[in-house]
Structure 1
Amino acid sequence: MSADPPARAGTAPRTCPDRLRGDKAYSSRDTRAYLRRRHIKVTIAQPEGQKAKRRRRGRSGGRPPAFDTGQYRRRSAAERCVSKWKQFRAVASRYDKRDYIFNGTLAVAAVVIWLHDTVQEPSETP
């Protein structure tokens, strides 16, 4: 006798992001084509070498890819946040093996970072 699995409440989990924000290392034509096929919006800066090659090819080089500076700034902010998290040894080396404990470690690190960034040290005036 086999039992049916319980029905899942709600909608299916997301498997595809709406947008990808990447740095210049991900600016290849193949990467952009793959993301375009999957209908994922892209914000990736283009290296100077790719820009120069497109200009050398003239009309056959094609249009430059769309680039949203505001979205790219958001990527930079997220990257800076992750690098601040990595200053904590437990986060960088992933000592915590269980997911919920690691998330707690991230939360504690985020609070410490927030407190450090918001509290201003008194300036020394003679």
Structure 2
Amino acid sequence: MKYLCLAYYNPAEFAAMAPADMQALVSQCPAKDAQLKATGQLRVSASLGEPETTIRLQPRGGKTQKIDGPFTEAKELVGGFFIIEAASAEEAVKAASLHPAATLGEQAGWRIDMHPIGFFEQYDGKA
């Protein structure tokens, strides 16, 4: 089973951190990311752009409407995501627990929500 893991942060709490504290936190991330990658269960990992760069597509009046972000005033935002593959929910939790947002950054409001993916196809762009 594959799991979509959404890594959240609190922009206000993150911005309130002293620069040295922020650097100390962020400098720990590469080693944590390497631990997760070393499990062999990581399939995709990415950071998301700033909320101002977000584009929303939605149906309105039978046509697709494009709206530039940000969209809501939110206390927490998704800052990144990753997909892991695991034989069980317990195994998925163990792997996802290695991600920096699960082990670090309490002062920045970091956390992870895990969602089982019911189906998953990878598209390579070939016909």
TM-score under structure 1 normalisation? 0.28
Decide which structure has greater strand share: 2
Could you tell me the TM-score, scaled by structure 2's length?
A: 0.28
Select the structure that is richer in helix: 1
